[in-house]
Amino acid sequence: MTNDSALRKVALITGGTRGIGKASSIALARDGYRVYAVYVRNRDAANSLSQYALENGLDIRCIRADLTDEEGRTMCINTLRAETDHINVIVHCAASGVHRETTKITMKQMRWTFDVNVFSFHSLLAELVSMVPPGGRIIGLSSFGATHVFSSFYGAVGSSKGALESLFRHYARELAPRGISVNIICPGMVVTDAIDAFPDRDDQMQNAIEITPTGKLATPDDVAGVVVFFASSNAAAQIIGQTINVDGGRSLY
């Protein structure tokens, strides 16, 4: 391990090669971090991000690992431990789930959704939290559906995000005495590939725009800017265990 790696700020982002995760990877790398962006399937997205980083002088390293699988999780952890002895910021952007009427969701589908959105991150953090120094930040991405019903097809994802918010509050209480702040960012509907999975995508987007005071949906870059604020600003040090809405005011209703 070089002296440079010992001094460099390091960030780990799950789901870090697409959508909000990609925007956060780029934003943190521009802020001086070495970023490890974890992904599972889309090699093209990872290669595109790696090429962008190379062309723009950014330190972003993509790790292909299925964090719901013990072998994949162990590989990711071993890669990190081989390259750095600290992780200043951990951002959980990875998310998936089944979109169908809630009463028709099978237990297999519900378990899969919770595995990706909640359980895999908990297993990862349990292994890596000892590498987070005082001043470190842990940031989760939630959803309006964690606390509100906005679609009959969001029961699995919404309930998993509600569980994630609760879990992060407990992380926050336990890690604050160690100087580690834990918070959740809750975007409104953000235009990414993820919303294409909604059967009622167009109706949901139109409704979201109509009831958002700013009259527009948040972008991945909007959310990434708040990630950087939590990660790097001294002003964020006393924000502990909060869920911050980045939704153009939609949550006012």
Could you tell me the pLDDT band of residue 67, with boundaries at 50, 70 and 90?
very high
Give yes or no for residue 69 having a pLDDT over 70.
yes
Looking at residue 153, its pLDDT comes to 85
Q: Is the dihedral of CA 84, 86, 88, 92 positive or negative?
A: positive
Beta bridge partners of 34: 10
Name the domain count of the chain.
1
At 29, list the tokens: 């790398």
Does 92 or 41 have the greater pLDDT score?
Answer: 92
Strand order in the sheet with 10-14: 60-64, 34-39, 10-14, 89-92, 137-141, 181-187, 243-246
The model's pLDDT over 135-184, given as tens digits with 9 standing for 90+, comes to 999 999 999 888 888 766 889 999 999 999 999 999 999 999 999 999 99
> Whole-angstrom Cα distance, residue 195 to residue 129?
31
pLDDT at 81: 97
| Residue 194 clears pLDDT 80, i.e. is over it | no
Distances (CA, A) of 33 to 47, 54, 183, 220: 19, 14, 19, 19
Report how far Cα 156 is from the mean position of its chain's Cα atoms. Answer: 18
Q: pLDDT confidence of 200, banded at 50, 70, 90?
A: low
d(CA 89, CA 24): 11
Domain with 54 in it: 3-252
**Which CATH number do you get for residue 86?**
3.40.50.720
Instruction: Enter the DSSP assignment of 61.
Output: E
How confident is the model over 9-25, as pLDDT tens digits? 999 999 999 999 999 99
For the chain, give the mean pLDDT.
92
Structure tokens given for 211: 């009831």
Reply yes or no on whether the pLDDT at 247 is more than 60. yes
Give per-residue pLDDT as tens, 201-241.
Answer: 677 777 778 888 998 888 999 999 999 999 999 999 999 99
How many CA atoms does the CB half-sphere of 157 hold within 13 Å? 23
SS3 content of the chain, % helix, strand, coil (to 5): 55, 15, 30
Is 184 in contact with 165 (CB distance < 8 Å)? Answer: yes
- Closest by CA to 138, choosing from 162, 174, 111, is 174
- What is the value of pTM for the model shown? 0.91
